[in-house]
Amino acid sequence: MKEENSMFNVVKESFEWGGRTLTLETGKMARQADGSVLATYGETVVLATCVGAPNPKEGVDFFPLTVNYQERYYAAGKIPGGYFKRERAPTERETLTSRLIDRPIRPLFADGYRNETLVVAQVLSHDLENDPDIIAMIAVSAALTISGLPFQGPIGAARVGYINNEYVLNPPIDDMPNSVLDLVVAGTHDAVMMVESEAQELSEEIMLGAVMFGHREMQHAIKAIIRLAEKSAKEPRAVPADIHAPVRAKLKSAAGAELAAAFQKPIKFERRDALSAIKKKFAADFVGEGEGKVAANVYSGLMHDVEADIMRNALLDTKKRVDGRDLTTVRPIMAEVGILPRTHGSALFTRGETQALCVCTLGTAEDEQFVDSLEGTGKQTFMLHYNFPPYSVGETGRMGSPGRREIGHGKLAWRAVHPMLPKKDQFPYTMRVVSEITESNGSSSMATVCGTSLALMDAGVPLVKPIAGIAMGLILEGDRYAVLSDILGDEDHLGDMDFKVAGTQDGITSLQMDIKIAGITEEIMKVALAQAQGGRIHILGEMNKALTGARAELGEHAPRIEQIKIPTDKIRDVIGTGGKVIREIVEKTGAKINIEDDGTVKIASADGESIKAALKWIRSLTAEPEVGEIYDGKIVKVMDFGAFVNFFGPKDGLVHVSELAQGRVASPKDVVKEGQAVKVKLLGFDDRGKVRLTMKQVDQETGEDLSKKTEG
């Protein structure tokens, strides 16, 4: 559909998708960008733009692509919190969604394209029903497709839920709590490019079915983008020609044998040093000016191509990998727990040359993470933070705030572990795990999953089941392919797929896949999932040698939390005017106290006696005294007819003169005095609701009920 007016040349395409209409529009907004598309789904609106520099960036041997996804608070009618009242650093969600968009589009740019390219997706309106991430992916795909940049798309994307044993396309946000699956899939017309998911122990068959369901449904979006491009696409830019093919062929002929020998060295550093020496040796013959020579950065890229070609074909020919393993063997594993003395839980998980030190800290409700988003402010009781210092790969470098990769790897491990955490009412703790990657050669995110599972159990967190993860790789050359279990860094770097599967003995909890080529088939994914299942079960067996379940007791230094429920109309009694009462309880007992709106009270302290004191105090404020029970009290006033006793928090009662002591009492002052500690028994209430107490039926030394003794 095309709209004509004096100022804009608007082109639109709409289609029904998942029960709602998705509209793609170009020609009105951001017209100076190379590509600009406004996508609307329900009342969620995303603007996607892309701009490619006219000339290649000098001195780089990679594609300088930047993807930024941004959520504007005005999209949901909100003003940002904080002092500055404007959006500042990217949130974790924005960073993760930027990666979600980047991963399927990056492999589809033409080989050799080195022009700096910026992709921006901005959420302009959010109806709190349709998640903007899928809409942003489709809008970006459309913007790139019409831009004229050498993008070999389009791609489509879809979210898949699994509710009541049925796949659901793009379930509304409110329906997601009912789904045992949250899976995002992106791909081209022919193949799947990217998968990201969290699942409740689903089988390989259900997960594969979800991927293929999403791939089928995204074809509607791909067709709409093609229709939009047919009406509005710019002239395509020239695809860079491969002018270095002759030099690449000569380099392979000259260095091939030595590279093949280097790739037979099983130790990472020996292999790295050998490859580095070969690269340096042949630089003299191939770097420089003149015929048969190239710039240094071009030479690095050509050497990478030759290394990949040699390693990949050798593996396909021999079915042996660079470290000598076959395709399915997992490297040696050592799992250790309780290795740090003062932490609440710790684990060191080592798999070959990859090692993760995972440390668990338990906290109270005060430690919950507040998450501010377009949907509103929520709380997170489980945090997993991943750090990747340069020393883990034997390198130098700056260490600062976490980058996109660290945030992404941490979230992948979080998704894998999250489905197996105990319910909040069963385990009312805030949990934080930090994964310090101390060595890396292969998947450190999957080592983090294994280490996190062990550290949580070491801290006494009652996980539903232990979780393990494994990274799979792929070498695909024409019709030949090999799926690799537990990939090395070189196999990841020079391979075609990074396929990570995490789960329990009984099912998958997280699946992530990234493809560096134009996608893979259902057959290859089926092989990879089956192979990953065997590897995951093996790893769980190795982890079980250290710990098979949560420890019976929390760590010595972990806080203890008691949880009780009080009537909601008693909350104000515990808090007091201006918080006076609860402050007094905290100051005098030393316990931390958190009261929720539903009357749930959490009392936390490392000292058990502190918890008991606070618990007793709160119960005295909220419970009702029971007839026949004996209580500690204090004389607050002595009268001619008896004594008033404060015995149950703020409650007072009367001990009549006839109930003060055995025998006749002439005057109460002969028996008790103000401020005296006594023990009383609740007899009941008179006609006016006044409390009746007795002292003579209670042994004032031991607190024994004398009436029961008499009955006996």
At 250-306, the pLDDT tens digits run: 888 888 888 888 888 888 888 888 888 998 888 888 888 877 788 787 888 888 888
The ranges of the chain annotated as CATH 1.10.10.400 are 245-318
- Which phi and psi angles does 452 have, rounded to 5°? -65, -45
Is the confidence at residue 624, as pLDDT, over 80?
no
Residue 433: pLDDT band with limits 50, 70, 90: very high
Q: Which of the given ranges, 236-240, 289-293, 456-460, 524-528, has the highest pLDDT on average? A: 456-460
Those residues whose C-beta lies under 8 Å from the C-beta of residue 664, and which sit 6 or more positions away, are none
Query: Nearest-5° angle of CA 385, CA 391, CA 396?
Result: 115
At 1-48, the pLDDT tens digits run: 555 556 888 999 999 999 999 999 999 999 999 999 999 999 999 999
2-232: CATH superfamily: GHMP Kinase, N-terminal domain (3.30.230.70)
Residue 244: pLDDT band with limits 50, 70, 90: confident
Pairwise pLDDT comparison (386 vs 83), residue with the higher score: 386
Give the per-residue pLDDT at 711.
56
**Lowest mean pLDDT across 82-91, 177-186, 331-340:** 82-91
At 368-380, the pLDDT tens digits run: 888 888 887 888 9
**Lowest mean pLDDT across 17-21, 73-77, 297-301, 432-436:** 297-301
pLDDT (average), residues 668-672? 87
Give the per-residue pLDDT at 502.
97
User: Residues of 265-286 as b/e, b for ≥16 C-beta within 10 angstroms?
Assistant: beebeebbebbeebbeebeeeb
β-pairing, 600-605 vs 630-639, is unpaired
Q: Please give the Cα distance from 656 to 659 (Å, whole number).
A: 5
Is the confidence at residue 712, as pLDDT, over 80?
no
The ranges of the chain annotated as CATH 2.40.50.140 are 630-711
Pairwise pLDDT comparison (618 vs 157), residue with the higher score: 157
Residue 106, amino acid = R
Give the per-residue pLDDT at 463.
96
At 186-203, the pLDDT tens digits run: 999 988 999 999 999 999
CA dihedral 594, 597, 598, 604 (to 10 degrees): 0
Give the per-residue pLDDT at 209.
96
Round to the nearest angstrom and report the end-to-end CA distance of the chain: 95
Residue 577: pLDDT band with limits 50, 70, 90: confident
The percentage of residues in the chain with a pLDDT greater than 90, rounded to a whole number, is 50
- What does the H/E/C string look like for 94-107? HHHHHHHHHHHHHH
The secondary structure of residue 423, as a DSSP letter, is P
Mean residue pLDDT of the chain comes to 90
Residue 14, amino acid = S
Topology of domain 333-544, CATH = Ribosomal Protein S5; domain 2 (3.30.230)
> pTM value?
0.83
Q: Please give the Cα distance from 656 to 684 (Å, whole number).
A: 13
Topology of domain 245-318, CATH = Arc Repressor Mutant, subunit A (1.10.10)
Please check whether residue 550 is in contact with residue 461, taking contact to mean a CB–CB distance below 8 angstroms. Answer: yes
Give the per-residue pLDDT at 248.
84
The ranges of the chain annotated as CATH 3.30.230.70 are 2-232, 333-544
Cis, peptide link before residue 154, omega less than 30° from 0: yes
Q: Which of the given ranges, 284-288, 454-458, 492-496, 614-618, has the highest pLDDT on average? A: 454-458
Matching residue, tokens 């191939």 = 286
Q: Per the structure block, which two tokens stand in for 136?
A: 């942003």
What is the second-level CATH architecture of the domain 560-622? 2-Layer Sandwich (3.30)
- The DSSP annotation for 509-529 comes to EEEEEEESSS-B-HHHHHHHH
Determine the distance from the C-alpha atom of residue 407 to the mean position of all C-alpha atoms in its chain, rounded to a whole number: 9
Q: Per the structure block, which two tokens stand in for 81?
A: 């919190």
Residue 567: pLDDT band with limits 50, 70, 90: confident
pLDDT (average), residues 668-673? 88
The secondary structure of residue 374, as a DSSP letter, is T
Burial of 464 (0-12, 13-18, 19+ CB in 10 A): middle
pLDDT (average), residues 381-395? 93
pLDDT (average), residues 496-514? 93
At 78-122, the pLDDT tens digits run: 988 778 888 888 999 999 999 999 999 999 999 888 899 999 999
Pairwise pLDDT comparison (523 vs 229), residue with the higher score: 229
Burial of 700 (0-12, 13-18, 19+ CB in 10 A): middle
Q: Please give the Cα distance from 703 to 206 (Å, whole number).
A: 64
Q: Looking at the domain that runs over 630-711, which CATH code has it been given? A: 2.40.50.140
CA dihedral 52, 54, 58, 60 (to 10 degrees): 30
